[in-house]
Amino acid sequence: MLTERFSPRYLDLDAWPTSEMLAAMYEGQLYAAAAVREALGAITEAVDAAVSALRRGGRIVYVGAGTSGRIGVQDGAELTPTYGWPAERVIFIMAGGLAALVESVEGAEDDEAAGSQAIVDAEIGPNDVVIGLAASGTTPYTVAAIRAASEAGAVTIAIANNPRAPLLEVARHKILVETGPEVIAGSTRMKAGTAQKIVLNLFSTALMVRLGRVYRGLMVHMRAINIKLKRRAERIVQEVVGCTNDEAAYYVEQAAGDVKTAVLIGLGLTPAEAADLLARHEGNLRAAIQEVAR
């Protein structure tokens, strides 16, 4: 496995000056980012397949062990506060359970039966999008889980950093990012982990855009549930409607913090009319605004 190989280039890493050591690590991070470019086509196909399933009411499911599992949880946990994605439609399947987020659970990643059973317990089906992450692409727990999810008819996506990895073989959509040997051999939280995070950043953000939760580069599906988000909501409404800050604050209040509704109120609709229009367009603000403009 390339991610486990020792690179002669870093033979004397521990003897280098700190500045040289950091420069080498930094270069590795840049390499990881550049390596993602080759996977853009595969990511595109995965996004399009996932959007179709999620429009049928499916869930986004992250599967992983160790660092890869933690990266998945980090990505998924941001979807609700950032894009208003329903919390009940995000599932985390982590080898060793969620306790493994903060401490190692010995042998958990090798438990194939547990990986398969986790898919059964989550009642995974054809409308679900199941993302398996493993730098090596060989983690038994993750491979077994993705195999079971594929057999259940789910949209399965594998993200791995080694070619010909078993994880890639059992998924419907294969995202390979070849990051090669690490500065510290086998420390896949470095280049491999960075690449995985970039892939998930691209994938989940594109999903939210395609699902109508972004308009003109703005997070219009968020709900203003605290002071920071309320201020952000007001700025978004002000930008889209072209009103004063005080007017935007009033529209957000009338909409109970719902940004899309607030925008439509600012364009002259009542809260009830705004809600009805958004429902007719499946929450797509662009389509709703276009109807108002006609």
> pLDDT tens across 94-117, in order?
999 989 998 888 889 999 999 999
Q: In the annotation, is 4 catalytic?
A: no
Q: 204: pLDDT confidence band, cut at 50, 70 and 90?
A: very high
The residue annotated as part of the active site, out of 4, 45, 78, 253, is: 78
pLDDT of residue 9: 87
* pLDDT per residue as tens digits for the range 53-71: 999 999 999 999 999 999 9
DSSP single-letter state for residue 256: T
Where do the domains of the chain lie, and which CATH numbers do they carry?
A: 2-210 (3.40.50.10490), 227-293 (1.10.8.1080)
* pLDDT per residue as tens digits for the range 257-274: 999 999 999 999 999 999
Q: In the annotation, is 178 catalytic?
A: no
* pLDDT per residue as tens digits for the range 7-24: 888 889 999 999 999 999
Question: How long, in residues, is the chain?
Answer: 294
Classified as helix, coil or strand, 233 is helix
The residue annotated as part of the active site, out of 38, 103, 106, 109, is: 109
pTM for the model stands at: 0.93
Q: Which of 65-69, 180-184, 233-237 has the lowest mean pLDDT?
A: 180-184
- Overall average pLDDT of the 147-154 stretch: 98
Encode the chain in three state secondary structure.
CHHHCCCHHHCCHHHCCHHHHHHHHHHHHHHHHHHHHHHHHHHHHHHHHHHHHHCCCCCEEEEECHHHHHHHHHHHHCHHHHHCCCHHHEEEEECCCHHHHCCCCCCHHHCHHHHHHHHHHCCCCCCCEEEEEECCCCCHHHHHHHHHHHHCCCEEEEEECCCCCHHHHHCCEEEECCCCCCCCCCCCCCHHHHHHHHHHHHHHHHHHHHCCCCECCECCCCECCCHHHHHHHHHHHHHHHCCCHHHHHHHHHHCCCEHHHHHHHHCCCCHHHHHHHHHHCCCCHHHHHHHHHC
pLDDT of residue 104: 83
